[in-house]
Amino acid sequence: MTDSAAIERFQAIYAEHHRRVYAYAVSMAGRQLADEVVSEVFLVAWRRLADVPAPPLPWLLTVARHVVSSQFRAAARQQSISAELRAWVTEAELAAPDVADEVSERGGILGYWRVACCGSGPAPGRTWLWAGLPGYGR
């Protein structure tokens, strides 16, 4: 199949079946996900255009069903991971101040930045991370 013939076939399939695939996607996944499902369906159709059978609608709807189920599985995995991560973190850990905030409040970051930018301290540009230690760059 030539490129122009493939493009014409795909455009014909899209024009004829887009509305039905969209309606099916809305009924399966809701309006929020329907556009994404339809995009995935026609992306698969384009990539596998040689495999699309003569009446393409049943094939397209099957692909849509697989896309919807994949999205629901991905959402379930995400929720499961989020729940597990929340279980690892205690309320006390969530209320504790961030260590990075404490470091920046002490001015350690400013000392590192001053040495990195200005080149003061021993061996400028090479050991600038030592700027926060006593006797180096302060």
Q: What is the pLDDT of residues 34-79, one digit of tens each?
A: 999 999 999 999 999 999 998 999 999 999 999 999 998 998 899 9
Interval 79-92: pLDDT, tens = 998 888 877 777 66
Shared-domain flag, residues 51 and 111: no
Q: How many domains does the chain have?
A: 2
In a domain, 65, yes or no: yes
**What is the rounded distance in angstroms from the CA atom of residue 22 to the CA atom of residue 61?**
10
Shared-domain flag, residues 72 and 110: no
Q: Is 36 exposed, middle or buried (0-12, 13-18, 19+ CB in 10 A)?
A: middle
pTM: 0.60
| Residue range of the domain that includes 103 | 97-132
Query: In this structure, what CATH number is given to the domain that contains residue 68?
Result: 1.10.1740.10
Shared-domain flag, residues 43 and 59: yes
